[in-house]
Amino acid sequence: MMRRLAIAALLVLAGPAAADVGLPRGWNFSGISWQDYEFGTDSVAGASSKAAYIKARPEIRTDGFGGMIQCIKAENYLGKRLRFSARMRSVAASSGQLWMRVDGPRTEQGGAAPVTLGFYNMGDNPIRGNTDWKRYDVVLDAPDNSVTICYGFFLAGGKGEVWADNLNLEAVGKDVPVSRSMVMPKGPVNLGFDR
Amino acid sequence: MKISGKTVMGAMLLTLLSAGAAAAASQFPPGWGGGSHWPKDYDFGAVPVEGAHDKAAYIRAHANAAHNGYFIMTQCIDAESSRGQRLRLSGRLRTVSASAGQLWMQVYRGRFALTSDMMYDRQLKGSSDWQRREIVLNVPADSTRVCYGFLLNGGEGEVWADDLVIEKVGFTVPTTTTFIGPVINWGGGLYSLSHGGLGRMDDR
């Protein structure tokens, strides 16, 4: 149940457009290709009451992703380690992913560019194919200069459906490891394309 | 790269094999990713070709590819070791009946481009033999990532790239930046790296 989300300060970004596309209250859509996806909530076996879904439409026009996003102010979480968790299932899914991002202040030079202080989106280990309900976690630190925390889940690749239920955001101890993707290479590789 | 007779034979065999493989399924060269809004409109990969050292990478549009589309090949590195420096990306490009072939490089802080050159003013159009192109950008002190590569812009023909080099250059070498304000994040905005190493770049 989405309402169970333990959220102190909700920044409701969702305007009327969000409701129009079937999003649950308090959620907005993310991804440039959200028109290629169907959003909603429904009763489904294994869910507590209703669960949220993202389904790829049959006629996918782009290569992007469609997702549900919610952003909150970071002020109640400064200095804490946060775990965003959900139970998820998938049906013939190309790539279902739970994610969270911690943004810092906007840059002095760029104006419009907040610093990304933490991010993880299961990009290295997405949910594919048919999977039964299973719990997934994203753990990030919210340093003292955090400004906004955004999180949600998305379906990338335009195939199948992904469901999420019992989403929860909570502070956890520092003994819980932070989620990390594979590390970016330090230097260029295979610039001659010979490998 | 020195090429022995044996290597040439191997390369010829590879050409045949790769040509078959390319038709079946495009594959990014190791260490490379990229994509397009219309990925099905393109073939891409790396195969031996005349005038290349060993293999060269290519992007080829299908005949019916969308003309407002592009396909980009991308590699990103951690900016840490280059901060405060000036980097030059150079490489050789050739095109076959191409709408536009371009090298590109952008420097990011998180998800946002700090400086950029997509080589719009030095595109290779139509058919051209191998030509060297270069891009020179500063890597600001707060950069987190440098991404670069090449693209076929406009959905026609093919572009080939070989012998890319990233090197530090002195501040006497002028930059080619076209950055005048917030710009589209080409290196990623919308495109995941197919080899999965970095996850989705739009969120990072």
Min Cα–Cα distance to chain A from B92, Å: 10
Q: Which of A33, A193, A194 to mutate to test the interface with B (most CBs of B within 10 A)?
A: A193
Residue B191 CA to residue B34 CA, distance in Å, equals: 6
**Record: contact A193-B162, CB cut-off 8 A:** yes
Cβ-based contacts of A121 with chain B (< 8 Å): 199-200, 203-204
Half-sphere exposure of A79 (CA within 13 A, CB side): 0
In this prediction the pTM is: 0.57
Average pLDDT over residues B146-169: 96
Residue B44: which domain range? 5-203
pLDDT for the residue numbered B194: 28
Residue B167 CA to residue B173 CA, distance in Å, equals: 12
pLDDT for the residue numbered A18: 57
Sign of the torsion formed by the C-alpha atoms of A60, B35, A21 and A49 = positive
Residue B204 CA to residue B189 CA, distance in Å, equals: 10
Residue B66 CA to residue A161 CA, distance in Å, equals: 28
**Record: contact A195-B165, CB cut-off 8 A:** no
Q: Pairing between strand A114-120 and A65-73?
A: unpaired
In the 3-class helix/strand/coil scheme, how is A137-163 assigned residue by residue? EEEEEECCCCCEEEEEEEEECCCCEEE
Min Cα–Cα distance to chain A from B192, Å: 9
DSSP A177: P
Strand partners, A93: A129
**Record: contact A119-B114, CB cut-off 8 A:** no
Closest CB to A181: pick one of B57, B162, B199: B199
Sign of the torsion formed by the C-alpha atoms of A100, A105, A110 and A111 = positive
pLDDT for the residue numbered A15: 36
Closest CB to A190: pick one of B32, B38, B112: B32
Our CA angle for B78, B79, B83, nearest 5°, is 155
**Record: contact B199-A123, CB cut-off 8 A:** yes
Give the Cβ contact number of residue B29 at 10 Å.
25
Q: For the domain A2-172, what is the CATH code?
A: 2.60.120.260
Q: Position B128: which residue type?
A: S
Cβ-based contacts of B204 with chain A (< 8 Å): 116, 119, 121, 181
**Record: contact A191-B145, CB cut-off 8 A:** no
Domain boundaries of chain A, sorted by first residue: 2-172
Min Cα–Cα distance to chain A from B126, Å: 23
| Residue B67 reports pLDDT greater than 80 | yes
CATH code at B132? Answer: 2.60.120.260
Q: How many CB pairs under 8 A join A and B?
A: 128
| Residue B57 reports pLDDT greater than 90 | yes
pLDDT for the residue numbered B191: 32
Nearest to B38 by CA among B62, B74, B13, B11: B62
pLDDT digits (tens, 9 = 90+) for B106-133: 998 876 788 889 999 999 999 999 999 9
| Residue B140 reports pLDDT greater than 70 | yes
| Residue B7 reports pLDDT greater than 80 | no
Q: How many domains does chain B have?
A: 1
Q: Pairing between strand B33-35 and B70-78?
A: antiparallel
Residue B134 CA to residue B139 CA, distance in Å, equals: 16
Closest CB to B36: pick one of A63, A156, A190: A63
| Residue A21 reports pLDDT greater than 80 | no
Percentage of chain B modeled with pLDDT above 70: 75
**In chain A, positions 13-42, which contact chain B (CB-CB < 8 Å)?**
32
Residue A63 CA to residue A156 CA, distance in Å, equals: 8
What are the angstrom distances between the C-alpha of B99 and each of A73, A114, A131, B96, B154?
Answer: 46, 36, 43, 9, 5
- 3-class DSSP state of B3: coil
Residue B160 CA to residue B47 CA, distance in Å, equals: 10
At residue A22 the predicted structure's pLDDT band, cuts being 50, 70 and 90, is confident
Residue A142 is encoded by which pair of tokens? 């919210």
* H/E run at residue A81: strand A80-106
Nearest to B145 by CA among A84, A85, A10, A119: A119
| Residue A112 reports pLDDT greater than 50 | yes
Average pLDDT over residues B170-192: 63
Cβ-based contacts of B32 with chain A (< 8 Å): 190, 193
Residue B82 is encoded by which pair of tokens? 């280059």
Strand partners, A139: A83
pLDDT for the residue numbered B201: 35
| Residue A17 reports pLDDT greater than 70 | no
Residue pair B127/B48 in contact by the 8 Å Cβ criterion: no
| Residue B73 reports pLDDT greater than 90 | yes
